[in-house]
Structure 1
Amino acid sequence: MEGKVLTYIKKPDWLKKDLKRAAVSGPVNAVLAGYSLNTVCNEAGCPNKGECFSRGTATFLIMGKNCTRNCRFCKITKAAPEELNPREPLNIAKAIQEMNLKHTVITSVTRDDLPDGGAGHFANTIFEIRKLCPDVTIEVLIPDFKGDYEALKKVVDANPDIINHNVETVPGLYNAVRPTAVFERSLELLRRVKEINGNLFTKSGFMVGLGEKEEEVIALLYALRGVGCDIVTIGQYLQPSREHYEVVAYIHPDQFQKYEEFAQKIGFQYVASGPLVRSSYHAEDGFSYLKKVKI
């Protein structure tokens, strides 16, 4: 798991093979353009975009394309934040209806410039989806709102089905990888969701291949379970450009399987672990499984 930091180390064959995905689907792009919507699929350069778009799904990115944080792993633009579009929540709902989605994932850039971090905009988006598409299940992937309890409560009270907040990496790498984030704050957010509404599923995800040790991953999984996290996703970090944090190692699929089995053993209700796993990749599968188990 450990190794030297190398620039553009060679991708292993299993990763190259998996990256050969279906071409981007025109109909999805047409809906997104028609409602002037952004996706994390495009802005973050997700390797699964072709597959997901060809299946008629996408992860919506609200509150603009520009992020107020400076995480070194992320491709999303760090620039002056954009004005909120008050029509965006309804446009998201209309797009979901037109795409005939059964499960939707809504995420955002981090908006530290807004008094509530954009929590109200998340809540409005959830409300509009509920009104127009009452049968759609809703997963939101939220920022930390700088630890603001009332901001978080706005989102929880809007009653999505899953609240996801990614810890992204092990605590020991925060200063190097995401210096403006606080690991303990993220854990507290996940704990507070359950405190406010114990019926909601919580979810988190992180990357490997950044230089973490196996024991750090195990400790992270214990920490997430310690705050009641139900779902965890684990994926391989891929360097977006030479300006971003370098890949330290490509983790073998066998190691991902080992992490998955351990996470299941300590009580996670659903685990997705693999080189190309991303937080919202096949998210509907996880929710469908949890609904059956809960019922």
Structure 2
Amino acid sequence: MTPTNTILIIDDSPDTIRLLSAMVREQGRVLFATSGAAGLELAKVQRPQLILLDVEMQGMDGFAVNEQIRRDPDLRGSAVIFVTAQSSPEAEIACLDAGAVDFIPKPLNAAVVQARVRTHLRLQAALTALDELANQDGLTGLYNRRYFDRQLAAEFARHRRHQLPLGLALIDVDDFKLFNDRYGHQRGDGCLQEVAEALRDGARRPGELAARYGGEEFVVLLPNTTPDALERYGDWMCRRIGALGIAHPGASAAPHVTCSIGLCALLPGPDDTAEAMLHAADMALYRAKRAGRNRSVMAGPEPQPA
């Protein structure tokens, strides 16, 4: 299995944790927690592909932990395998009905544990690949607008809960219609692909997301990003796209392909919305174009409703 897999063991027995860790350590990075509450906090940070969850724990039991996992949008990609001393058909049915992908009875058998973990890591990888294909823009390979809209809503809600600053950059290729008219749509597609690659390479921090928003317009979501950091990102991305050196002699801003960027950074409050934030970035993009293109412009500190 790929070493990028993360397996989280949640069990209040150190002996069971040691035993399970030894069984699955070759299949991924193994983390552990000795209580349900600690396991949930660790899962939110690490977002493991697979959680091995003990049913019988003091305090918050496995079913309660699993219910919290199922309700948390940040953890919906984590599969849960229940581990329990209860091996009756009724116990197995209860685990599966609760939303677990599998059930491992105690005493633990190493071959069984390894086979089931291996199987579900493979299934998780296949599901991830299918999700990525469905969420991908066919031309550029970036995420598509549908996926971006979902992620913006989720990140906006998360940043509101944790009171973190969220950054958004709306990016438009300057005078792109003129480029297509001069060189044709095939070279136009190639131009968009090069710009998309620059945006993809520029989204390096965890959680950063670049998407094609439509036509020659792109959008980048930048979690936990202050206004100052977002302004630096906008200036840097303008230079980066200009440095691609794609000839565009008919353009108004420069003899090569450039972009205009509208920026919005916000610490989401109870009355703010993701739609208003996107609208503010769009208005900032409009001002960047009016000011001569090939630049980034920051929206006001509070996005105005559309």
Structure index of larger Rg = 2
Give the TM-score of the pair, scaled to structure 2: 0.29
* TM-score, structure 1 normalization: 0.30
Flag the structure with higher helix content. 2
Question: Which one scores higher on RCO, CA 8 angstroms, separation ≥ 6?
Answer: 1
